[in-house]
Amino acid sequence: MAGFDSGATALAVAIGGALWLHQVVIVPTPSVGMYLDRAVFHFAAAFVIIEIIEVGRAVARPLLSWRVTHGDASACGTGGAAAAVERLAGGGMRAQPKALAQRPTPGLRRAQRMAGAALLAILVTAQTASHLDERNAYLYMTTPRFPVGPGSGADGYVFWLEGHPTYMESWQFARQAALYGGASTDLGTGDTDARAGYAYVWTLLARPLGYFGGAVVLNALCWMGAALATWYLARRLLERELPAFGAALGVACGQGFVVMAGTPMSYVAGFAWAPILLALTHRLGLLAPAGHQPAGHQPAGQQGASWRARARWAAWGWTCGVAGLFYFTHVVALATLWLLGLRQPHCRPPLTGLLLASALALAVPASWEVAGRAGVGLAFASTTASDLSSNVKGLLQTAMARPLRLPDEAGQGSVRALAGGFPFPTLPLAVVGIVVAGHERRRWYLAVLLCGLAPAMVLHHLPVTQRYGYLAFPAVYIAAVEGVTWIARLSPRAGWTVAGVILLAGIQLLQANADLFGVYGYALAFGGP
């Protein structure tokens, strides 16, 4: 079942579909951007549909495909696990003449890991500190010098927090933090009650650090967590320390993080949950089977331990639900988990685990809504959640009534959503990485990327969707370093891999911080209309 390449098929559908649509749909002057937007939608839709069909095929011939007999995660028992790990980690790279993963490099020593983490921390701290107040990109973009700013005053669309200028909508989180900290009883907390997890952790840090300082430190911690989780994920996927660290550097220099770092809102935390939840799936053996189990853990699903497997799925679901109290990352993570979990090589689809995790992931935010209404008195004004649901309904209506228009609608701005967060050369390199990756890793990249991009497609009517599409970043940064590594290995000289990874990180660092030198194009590409 793993032999069918859904990525390649989806690509063919994307190209063919976009061209065919042009022939049957009358658009006066279709631009290249429109073609590409449609193609991205076709690609995403085809990929998901093919994956689901493949799962159906697998389910239809159970005894032939299921190589283990235990339920749920136990389906990924040690026998099939070895092959699955081979596929995920090595895969097609091993088929390359100069394979990336011929032999995994030995792990780093503790001191080296600490040094790497320290470098990431320095980058995150320095970029956070240099993008506060008036240099906060999400704020300065609203001043009159920028396209959305003419209606604002010289300080922008500003909210003053302890004398610091921040983006106006931060007031909602600040007021929630004051409410949970006992400083206020004002229940007029705006539209972000559902994201109370951020406000609550903020109020804990505000006690010693002040509200502004607490938010900045919280964002930096989340950013750091995202970089470390991506490092872990990349190490699992690529089995090479240097490219894995390069992916972490990509996150530490990530455009989306730099733009949002100084804003006391839950965006940075929401971004951070994406790689953390993905890393947990590997750490817990939900997707990568027993060969990747941490020391001391029973491989999920060994005989007599199915309750442990279910406990892991439940724990992941609960954590995913907690992420839903910060941002809608839980929805994206759930979609990714289903897409990857349903079709694991040599594994029976762990339906019970997936359902259990999904139920918990959705139950936690729902429980907060009950507790928040009854215990705290919050109103839970619907905003992004209702935007998402109403847009999904709208897209479904389009799909039913005018299906040929669906790619135009849902695909609108999807290329910009990707290119805005991942400027050249990161995105093209990620494409190279996806193409040269092994079959199973390519599936992982595409599932994470397309599910991360999905919110931008759903919220397509908004003028700025790049921050929604940024949830694709774990796949993009890891795939980009795989692309760099593959290109570097075309050279007979040693050391090009190191040079390539450093060069890519340097370019990302310069682009994300170009605004400090008066070059605003990169920041605007992410945050501007």
Partner 1 sequence: MITPERAASGFYFSVLVLPALVWIAGVFWGRRAAVGTGLVLAVLSLANALSPPRPLLTQPVQWAVGFTAADQALRATLAPPPRSHVAEILAGGGSATLFVCRGRGTTDDLEILAGGDGLGVIARPTASFCWLQLQVPPERLAGGSLEVTIRPRPGTGIRESGPTVLVGGYTRPIGDGGRSGGAAFFDGASWRTDDLSPSEAGPQAGRYFVELRLADAAGRVQEIWY
Tokens 């089977």 — which residue?
Answer: 289
Q: Is 18 in the site for partner 1 (CB under 8 A)?
A: no
With contact defined as beta carbons under 8 Å apart, do 365 and 321 qualify? yes
Nearer to partner 1, 179 or 347 (CB): 179
Q: Of 171 and 444, which has the nearer Cβ to partner 1? A: 171
Distance CA 234, CA 228 (A): 10
Contact partners, residue 517, CB within 8 Å, separation at least 6: none
Among 6, 143, 412, 511, binds partner 1 (CB under 8 A): 143
Q: Which positions ≥6 away from 375 have C-beta within 8 Å?
A: none
Exactly one of 364, 417, 451, 501 binds partner 1 (CB under 8 A); which one? Answer: 364
Q: Which of 23, 29, 31, 185 binds partner 1 (CB under 8 A)?
A: 185
Nearest approach, Cβ of 178 to partner 1 (angstroms)?
Answer: 4
Question: Binding of partner 1 at residue 517 (CB under 8 A)?
Answer: no
Exposure string of 158-176, with b = 16+ CB inside 10 Å and e = fewer, is bbebeebbbbebbbbbbbb
* Residues 215-274 contacting partner 1, CB under 8 A: 228, 232
Tell me whether residue 209 or residue 487 sits nearer to partner 1 (CB atom). 209
Q: Name the amino acid, one letter, at 153.
A: G
Binding pattern for the stretch 394-433 against partner 1, x by CB under 8 A and - elsewhere:
----------------------------------------
Distance CA 199, CA 249 (A): 28
- Helix axes of 267-283 and 473-488: crossing angle, nearest 10 degrees: 70
Nearest distance in Å: CB 256, partner 1: 21
Q: Assess 181 for contact with partner 1 (CB under 8 A).
A: yes
Determine, following the binding rule CB under 8 A, whether residue 315 of this chain makes contact with partner 1: yes
Binds partner 1 (CB under 8 A): choice among 116, 165, 345, 527: 165
> To the nearest whole angstrom, how small is the minimum distance from the Cβ of residue 135 to partner 1?
10
Written as one letter, the residue type at 280 is L
Nearer to partner 1 among residue 381 and residue 431 (C-beta):
381
Min separation Cβ 282 and partner 1, Å: 11
Q: What whole-number distance in Å separates Cα of residue 120 and Cα of residue 499?
A: 18
Name the residue among 209, 186, 189 with its Cα closest to residue 199: 189
Q: How far is the CB of 364 from partner 1 (least distance, A)?
A: 7
Q: Is 202 one of the binding residues for partner 1 (CB under 8 A)?
A: no
- The encoded tokens of residue 94 equal 């091993």
In whole angstroms, how large is the CA radius of gyration of the chain?
23
Q: CB of residue 57 vs partner 1: minimum separation in angstroms?
A: 34
Does 376 bind partner 1 (CB under 8 A)? Our answer is: yes
Side-chain half-sphere exposure of 383, counting CA atoms within 13 A: 14
CA 12 to chain centre: 25
Q: Name the 3-class secondary structure at 160.
A: strand
Q: Which residues contact 378 (CB under 8 A, 6 or more apart)?
A: 187, 189, 193, 196, 372
C-beta closer to partner 1: residue 146 or 486: 146
Give contact residues for partner 1 (rule: CB under 8 A). Answer: 133-134, 143-145, 149-151, 153-155, 158-163, 165, 168, 171, 174-175, 177-185, 187, 196-197, 200-201, 203-208, 210-211, 228, 232, 276, 279-280, 283-284, 294, 315, 318-319, 322, 325, 364, 367-368, 371-372, 375-377
